[in-house]
Structure 1
Amino acid sequence: MKIAIGADEAGFTLKECIKAFLQDQQADVTDFGLMDGTQAIDYPDVGFAVAEEIAKGKFERGILICGTGIGMTITADKVPGIRAALCHDTYSAERAVRSNNAQVLTMGARVIGSELAKHIVRAWLDATFDQGNSARKVQKIMDGERRHHATDGYQPETNSCSLPQNQKG
């Protein structure tokens, strides 16, 4: 299986552990993250790089790691066709694939340890998509995604990170 992996500096150590684990399992792993834990990189840069390559069909699955896993999940899920799942337990990792056909697993290096992360990765890799009712629901997600990404003149607010006027200060 071809797997893309990446992390920001907060997830570097866990990424290296998971990368070694995958290589021991004979997975074909390509690293999109930092090669040195002393550097800094913004998680969206790594998250988009991995998710876009998966969306193009160059990799079957991807693993993204940051401090909490939340930023990487949000980033990867912005790429059309990608379903990223934040998992900090094996049951969720299995269900992410079986029920949602998630191609990207995200984890938080500040939330879980390396041994649990390995078990989560194994559960996620071993799972297969159930089809049936799950396929119908995933298709609805994909259809909704196409509707929302259609060229309709929508432009996101440019200053979307500011607080509403009554919440400032």
Structure 2
Amino acid sequence: MSQTNLRNLGMLAGAGSAALLAAALTFQQLGYAPCELCILQRWPHLVAAIIGGLIAVLGWKRWLALLGMLAAMAACGIAIYHAGVELQLWQGPQHCSGGVGGLATMSTQDLMAALEKAPVVRCDAVAWSFLGISMAGWNAVCSAGLTGIWAACLRGRKRLGGLA
């Protein structure tokens, strides 16, 4: 694969993460408030989008492709975790999944303070879905695809027989 093709592949993967960020922000503007895990899923996409921009400016570098792939993998992992919380496959963070740990032993003042700090949006509630898949689920699917694009970008130079 040529340097230009590898550069384009890295820019495509970065643009994919930027598009997922734009979609998340659009849903937020439409009234779908994000939970804590939703926000957490955005950070690796921001990193991957920045790396795609760096590849556009600096050209293809193996280490940038590796970092982009790791960022996409992190986004995918967080999204899978979040989708599993929504599907009740495992527990999410207690403070945003409706946990009642220690509720019986709390004083009224402690309970009120905890309620004031509690996030409005629960991590275990599906706010929107399409074809039976939540936003977190779609993020997992898209992030897995982006991880594959980054992996192809990373492997491409090996075929040329050198490191950059």
TM-score range, shorter chain: under 0.3
Structure with more relative contact order (C-alpha pairs < 8 Å, separation 6 or more): 2
Kindly indicate which of the two structures has a greater share of residues assigned to helix.
2
Max radius of gyration: which structure? Answer: 2
| TM-score, L = length of structure 1 | 0.22
Kindly indicate which of the two structures has a greater share of residues assigned to strand.
1
